[in-house]
């Protein structure tokens, strides 16, 4: 048996942060690498080795002489199932690692739990305080991209972020054991017993779950943390892929892979039966009774102009990823399957008319309502009064292939704009300012950046991150029912919740 004061399961962003804050003082005798030193830049820890001796300890043994912490300092063990810590950090931001947003609000996050509880957790550590910790304590120099509201490492290297976190944990004495895939956590007296798949047992009075969710399984996430949490009495809000690319048809007959542009995009619910119109008719606009706004509980994100990319299978880019969870949940459950998915009141009559892709005739759906250029209908009305052809006008404001496909779809290619009938003019303006794409699927957890759902915030103490059902168990990071939009928000949640769990896990361990 291997004894610790605090065991942390999962060496991702939340787990590394939790471990660093759980070690209250520097100078603990243990180090996490078999050589007794921090790893070289980019190297991985030696599999399953003892930090004190560099050899694998025999199962069932107590701490070897000289390895127990002295002077009452906590012994912190960090268990990671993969060969190296922080694999998801390495993949983030296109390997640049968007460490933090510059500013944030609660509306940048989705949860089915109490938003007041989420607010209290974020109040424990501001964005500025977190940024100073990275620069002053971790030694990471950050560069601000104010226009995109993002902090990146000056080096543009996700590897530097991961390595500096691991080295800092090493300097504090955190013991990192890789290749340690946790199979179970059970209570034994006043201690928790953590057992791995290969039969090694660890014991501590306090355990932190930083196991992640189900997204990007190649990084080692498989939902084990959720299963163990359930075995300890927790419930789960149903999990689903979030920030994942969507699949579906492109406008027109020619595929548009590689075409990208900044758009204004919002999710809506579409009930084609309520329109009473054959929307495959190019001259028919969808009646407003068939479009319903998505509730702010389901998607609190404010519409913002951001990148949209047509892929071989459908759509991606920040604009799509941010709202993909709405589509995922609608495809899984239907828009009326739960109170959080129910459409709201009909859109106001001042909304622009919406042009519907023919796939929307199938059934009530969640759709992407897109303004391709961000220009209002009134602006386009003025442009159509000029001496242009439809093709030259659209090509001057949109990628050529997209412009051609939109005009092909509504039968208005190479028409003189001043000679368009009122009905055709209205149809073209609708195509440009309120086009509806109806996704048919998504790429799932394999490509999802985060997991939606998870352990409800109502089942933890938001002041400490401790379980309300299993004293001595703390939870943080993606295992919880919180995720943010693209832009460093999910890392911020990991840093904040990991810090809070680590601090209070260490306090509890010191009191036992």
Q: Concatenate the DSSP letters of all residues of 280-343 into one string.
A: TSTTPPBPGGGEEEPPTTT--PPP-EEEEEE-SSEEESHHHHHHHHHHHHHHHH-TTSSTTT--
Alpha-carbon span 398 to 381, nearest angstrom: 16
Q: What was the pLDDT predicted at 343? A: 29
List, for residues 391-446, the tens digit of each pLDDT value.
Answer: 999 999 999 999 999 999 999 999 999 999 999 999 999 999 999 999 999 999 99
Rounded mean pLDDT of 145-166?
96
Whole-number Å distance between alpha carbons of 338 and 330 = 10
In this prediction, residue 73 carries a pLDDT of 60
Q: In the chain, where are the structural domains located?
A: 2-92+111-124+160-242+452-511, 246-442
pLDDT of residue 365: 80
Q: In angstroms, rounded to a whole number, what is the distance separating the alpha carbons of residues 318 and 150?
A: 13
Lowest mean pLDDT among 10-14, 20-24, 72-76, 441-445: 72-76
The structure's pTM equals 0.84
Q: For 92-142, write each residue's pLDDT tens digit.
A: 988 999 999 999 999 999 999 999 999 999 999 999 999 999 999 999 999
Residue 301 to residues 63, 108, 266, 272, 359, Cα–Cα distance (Å): 50, 6, 9, 25, 26
- Confidence label for 288 from pLDDT (cuts 50, 70 and 90): very low
Spacing of C-alpha 249 from chain mean position: 25
pLDDT of residue 416: 95
Q: What is the pLDDT of residues 291-326, one digit of tens each?
A: 888 888 899 987 778 999 999 999 999 999 999 999
Q: What percent of the chain has pLDDT over 90?
A: 72
How far are the Cα atoms of 78, 294, 334, 342 from residue 339, in angstroms, in the given order? 40, 11, 11, 5
State the chain's mean pLDDT as an integer.
Answer: 84
Mean pLDDT of 465-480: 98
Q: Residue 261 forms beta bridges with which residues?
A: 308
- Those residues whose C-beta lies under 8 Å from the C-beta of residue 471, and which sit 6 or more positions away, are none
| Higher-scoring residue by pLDDT: 348, 146 | 146
* CATH pick for 2-92+111-124+160-242+452-511 out of 3.40.50.300, 3.50.50.60, 3.90.1150.10, 3.40.50.720: 3.50.50.60
pLDDT value for 129? 98
Contact assessment for residue 480 and residue 10, using Cβ atoms and an 8 Å cutoff: no
The alpha carbon of residue 396 and the mean position of all alpha carbons in its chain are separated, in whole angstroms, by: 35
pLDDT tops 50 at residue 52 = no
Contact 2, 200 (CB under 8 A): yes
Write down the pLDDT at residue 360: 40
């Amino acid at each position: 048996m291997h004894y610790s004061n605090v065991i942390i399961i999962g060496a991702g962003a939340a787990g590394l942060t939790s471990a660093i804050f759980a070690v209250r003082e520097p100078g603990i005798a243990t180090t996490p690498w078999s050589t007794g030193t921090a790893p070289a830049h980019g190297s991985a820890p030696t599999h399953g080795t003892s930090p004190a001796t560099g050899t694998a300890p025999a199962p069932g043994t107590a701490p070897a002489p000289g390895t127990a912490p002295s002077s009452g300092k906590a012994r912190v063990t960090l268990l990671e199932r993969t060969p190296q810590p922080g694999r998801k950090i390495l993949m983030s931001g296109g390997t640049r690692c968007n460490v933090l947003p510059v500013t944030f609000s609660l509306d940048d996050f989705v949860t089915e739990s109490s938003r007041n509880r989420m607010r209290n957790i974020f109040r424990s550590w501001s964005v500025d305080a977190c940024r100073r910790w990275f620069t002053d304590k971790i030694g990471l120099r950050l560069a601000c991209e104010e226009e995109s509201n993002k902090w990146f490492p000056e080096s543009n290297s996700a590897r530097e972020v991961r390595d500096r976190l691991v080295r800092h944990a090493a300097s504090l004495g955190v013991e990192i054991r890789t290749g340690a895939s946790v199979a179970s956590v059970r209570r034994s007296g006043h201690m928790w017993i953590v057992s791995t798949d290969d039969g090694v047992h660890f014991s501590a009075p306090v355990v932190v779950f930083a196991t992640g969710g189900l997204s990007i399984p190649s990084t080692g996430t498989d939902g084990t943390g959720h299963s163990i949490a359930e075995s300890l009495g927790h419930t789960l809000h149903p999990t689903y892929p979030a920030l994942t690319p969507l699949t579906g048809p492109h406008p027109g007959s020619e595929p548009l892979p590689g075409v990208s542009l900044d758009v204004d995009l919002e999710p809506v619910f579409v009930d084609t039966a309520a329109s009473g119109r054959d929307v495959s008719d190019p001259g028919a606009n969808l009646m407003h009774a068939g479009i319903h706004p998505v509730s702010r509980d389901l998607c609190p994100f404010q519409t913002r102009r951001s990148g949209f990319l047509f892929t071989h299978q459908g759509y991606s880019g920040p604009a799509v990823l941010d709202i993909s969870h709405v589509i995922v949940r609608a495809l899984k459950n239907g828009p009326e399957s739960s109170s959080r998915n129910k459409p709201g009141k009909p859109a106001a009559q001042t909304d622009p008319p919406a042009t519907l892709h023919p796939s929307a005739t199938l059934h009530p759906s969640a759709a992407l309502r897109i303004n391709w250029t961000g220009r209002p209908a009134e602006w386009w009305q003025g442009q159509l009064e000029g001496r242009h052809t439809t093709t030259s006008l659209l090509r001057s404001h949109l990628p050529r292939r997209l412009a051609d496909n939109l005009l092909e779809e509504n039968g208005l290619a190479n028409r003189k704009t001043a000679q368009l009938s009122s009905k055709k003019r209205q149809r073209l303006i609708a195509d440009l300012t309120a086009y509806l794409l109806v996704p048919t699927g998504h790429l799932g957890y394999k490509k999802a950046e985060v997991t939606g759902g998870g352990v409800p915030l109502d089942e933890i103490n938001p002041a400490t991150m401790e379980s309300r059902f299993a004293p001595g168990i703390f939870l943080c990071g993606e295992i919880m029912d919180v995720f943010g939009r693209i832009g460093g928000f999910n890392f911020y949640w990991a840093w904040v919740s990991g810090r809070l769990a680590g601090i209070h896990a260490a306090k509890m361990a010191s009191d036992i």
